Amino acid sequence: MSDSEHTLEAVRRAKGEAWRARGHQPFGNDTGPLHSVASVRAAHEAQKEAFNADPAGVTYRVAGRVIALRDTGKLVFVKLRDGSGEIQLFCSARDLGDDFALLKELDLGDIVLVEGPAMRTRLLELSVLAKSLRPLTKSFTPIPSEWFGLSELETRYRQRYADLIANHAEVGAVFRARSLIVTALREWLDARDFVEVETPTLNSLRGGATAKPFTTHHNALDLSLYLRVAPELYLKRLIVGGLDRVYEIGRVWRNEGISTRHNPEFTILEFYQAYATYRELMDETEELVGHADAKLVARFPQFADGRGYDLARPWKRVRMLDAVTHAFAARHPALSAPWADGHPSPGWGHFREVLVRGTELTKDERSYLLKAHTFGEFLFALFEVFAEGHLTTDYRTADGARSVPVFIVDYPFDVSPLARKKDPSKQDEQYGPSYPVTFTDRFELFVEGRELANAFSELNDPDDQAARFRAQLQNRARGDDEAMDFDDDYIRALGYGMPPTAGFGLGVDRLVMLLTGQKSIRDVVLFPLLRPESDGR
């Protein structure tokens, strides 16, 4: 803290002691029943003309933070904010009597309680005509003013309390919108007889997704544990047990990089539905997101302004192979793709070498492409490097004005360790007989360049699942630190028989980013992970 900050705090502390001398605790309690600012405004919404005091004689008790002060000598105008809104306090010596002197000891940020009737000034500002004023909490630290605000991003994220005070209208709206979106997701699922459950966040095995976990230790059991990367395997155990529709909204942790779209801990919605396929889930995804957006726009219409995407149904459904083919035809027409004749040639590895040498790629992109061991892995890498970043421009409304949501469907088996393989007859029908890549009944949803959801028809063959777990262990032996463990108990659960099931996962933070137009995941997470502050020690 600088010398000037110490001085300002000392002045505020002295004012707090002056409150105490007048018989007011600087950190009081026991406010009694209160009226919200919103309720005062609602009661007088129809009264548009100036009036000196509420003719009905209603007295309001309102408490909140002082965010503006204007002293004209005989009158003091205070802007007060509570959780529901802002209102002006009209303060005069005639009405407040001895309490008027307290206004000289008020600072921005102090929390006070005021009582009095409503009125409208000559400028038609709805106000509370203060008849009594009681200090409740002294603010020792000067708050950012409402005019200059708080703009330095790291400070905003680190001191979210100050961010909410300084940028209340914008930031507060985003987090109220987040709450509304989560409520709407629950509402949609509850209306369809899904049961909300809670599953363990401390796991003894790595599973549910291919991701590097965080590790921890349970002292009493002397047991090494992982923070969950996904609730999937526990939720599917419940499907086996006869809970045919289950969902969970909760935190998961992945020990990965930090970016505008990645925070190490984030909120996920997963739901599982017996007797459904990934095709039906695409329809339900459109409904679910549309429901959440309708609820949001009804309450916060400003978030619909200026959107570069259109959520009108139906959304695009594009096979991964077709998305990659389209991307190459549009951007690398001179390259002869190894699947151009309908089948990947045996020389796909040579094609990869030509591609890596002849295309402008980053070091990480080259490394990623070269890491593929099978054509299925290579196809997925091609999609991520060459197609995914262009979905927003490649798939648009008929007039070209906005992008449209895209379901990328049919992921290679090689990168889908928990998804059900496409039935051989359907694979042959859709890709031709003996196609040398096995595809799965899986989709991912992309909207405005963001991957929002991942879903698939679930694998319910215990032998097939056991073989895939063993393959994950082989990947681990090759150095893949995101590979899953072999989960014996999950195989045992599948042995009892899991009905045909479709499963869905949605990144809640990314959905909030999309619908509220935020550019960074840190703007929709109240307390994102940051490095500890340097204090010079």
Of 67, 63, 93, nearest to 79 (Cα)?
Answer: 67
Per residue in 315-330, pLDDT tens? 999 999 999 988 888 8
Phi, psi of 76 (to 5 degrees): -125, 130
Contact yes or no for 383/408 (Cβ under 8 A): yes
The backbone region for 73, taken as left when phi is positive above 0, alpha when psi lies in -120 to 50, beta otherwise, is left
Amino acid at 333: P
Rg (CA), the chain: 30
Contact 529, 258 (CB under 8 A): yes
**Residue 149 vs residues 9, 68, 77, 112, 291: alpha-carbon distances, Å:** 19, 13, 20, 22, 34
Structural domain containing residue 18: 3-137
Please measure the distance between the N-terminal and C-terminal CA atoms of the chain and give it in whole angstroms. Answer: 14
How much of the chain is helix, strand and coil, in % rounded to 5?
Answer: 40, 25, 40
Question: Is 150:172 a contact under the CB 8 Å cutoff?
Answer: no
Residue 515 lies in a domain: no
As a whole number, mean pLDDT of residues 249-274 equals 94
Q: Hey, what amino acid is at 470?
A: R
Residue predicted with more confidence, 533 or 410: 410
Q: Reply yes or no on whether the pLDDT at 30 is more than 90.
A: no
Max distance between CA atoms of the chain, in angstroms, equals: 93
Query: Into how many domains does the chain fold?
Result: 1
Q: What is the pLDDT of residue 338?
A: 62
Give the integer Cα–Cα distance in Å for 109 and 65.
6
Is 32 a domain residue? yes
The three state secondary structure string of 451-509 is EEEEEEEECCCHHHHHHHHHHHHHHHHCCCCCCCCCCHHHHHHHHCCCCCEEEEEEEHH
DSSP secondary structure code for residue 98 in this structure: G
pLDDT value of position 150: 65
Q: Quick check: 440 pLDDT over 60?
A: yes
Per DSSP, 314 falls in state: S
Q: Does residue 120 belong to any structural domain of this protein?
A: yes
Sign of CA dihedral 505, 509, 510, 515: positive
Q: What is the mean pLDDT of the chain?
A: 91
Highest-scoring range by mean pLDDT, 370-379, 479-488, 513-522: 513-522
In a domain, 33, yes or no: yes
Q: Which pair of tokens denotes residue 233?
A: 């395997």
The answer to whether residue 457 scores a pLDDT higher than 80 is yes
Q: Provide the 3-class DSSP secondary structure of residue 76.
A: strand
Q: What is the pLDDT of residue 522?
A: 95
> Residue 537: its pLDDT value, please?
42
User: CA-to-CA distance for 421 and 424, rounded, in angstroms?
Assistant: 8
Sequential DSSP letters for 284-308: HHHHHHHHHHHHHHHH-GGGGTT-S
Closest CA to 146 of 122, 172, 120, 181: 172
User: What's the confidence (pLDDT) of residue 351?
Assistant: 77
- Asked if residue 391 has pLDDT above 90, the reply is yes
Please state, in angstroms and rounded to a whole number, the distance separating the CA atoms of residues 33 and 99. 21
Q: Which residues have a Cβ under 8 Å from the Cβ of 405 and sit 6 or more positions away? A: 286, 289, 309, 311, 315, 316, 445, 446, 447
Q: Which residues, 6 or more positions from 137, have their beta carbon under 8 angstroms from its beta carbon?
A: 26, 27, 28, 110, 111
Please indicate, yes or no, if residue 121 is contained in any of the structural domains: yes
The H or E element containing residue 20 is: helix 3-21
- Whether the per-residue pLDDT at 149 is higher than 70: the answer is no
Dihedral sign for Cα 417, 420, 424, 427, please: negative
> What is the pLDDT averaged over residues 179-185?
98
Using alpha carbons, select from 92, 419, 360 the residue that is nearest to residue 236: 419
Write the burial class of residue 2 (CB in 10 Å: 0-12 exposed, 13-18 middle, 19+ buried). exposed
Query: pLDDT at residue 343 above 70?
Result: no
Q: Is residue 22 included in any domain, yes or no?
A: yes
What is the spatial distance between Cα 208 and Cα 534, in angstroms, rounded to a whole number? Answer: 37
Tell the residue number behind the tokens 């619908």, with chain if given: 515
3-state secondary structure of 106: coil
In the three-class reduction of DSSP (H, G, I as helix; E, B as strand; rest coil), residue 72 is classed as coil
pLDDT of 328: 83
User: Has residue 536 got a pLDDT over 50?
Assistant: no
Q: Can you tell me the mean pLDDT for 111-115?
A: 97
Mean pLDDT of 156-175: 92
pLDDT of residue 4: 81
What share of the chain in percent tops pLDDT 90? 74
pLDDT at 59 over 50: yes
Rounded to whole angstroms, the Cα distance separating 363 from 360 reads 10
**What torsion do the CA atoms of 208, 210, 211, 215 make, to the nearest 10 degrees?**
50
126-129 vs 85-92, strand pairing mode: parallel
Rounded to an integer, the average pLDDT of 421-434 is 90
119-142 confidence digits (pLDDT tens): 999 999 999 999 999 999 999 998
- pLDDT at residue 270, as a whole number: 98
Task: Give the ranges where 332-374 is alpha helix by DSSP (H).
Answer: 348-358, 363-370
What DSSP element (H or E) covers 430?
helix 424-431
What average pLDDT does range 193-204 have in this prediction? 97
- Identity of residue 190: D
Residue at 386 is within a domain: no
- Looking from the CA of 36 toward its CB, the CA atoms found within 13 Å total 6
**Within a domain: residue 50?**
yes
Q: Domain holding 60: CATH number?
A: 2.40.50.140
CA 380 centroid distance within chain? 26
Question: Residue 392 has what pLDDT?
Answer: 96
* pLDDT score for 147: 45
pLDDT at 480: 86
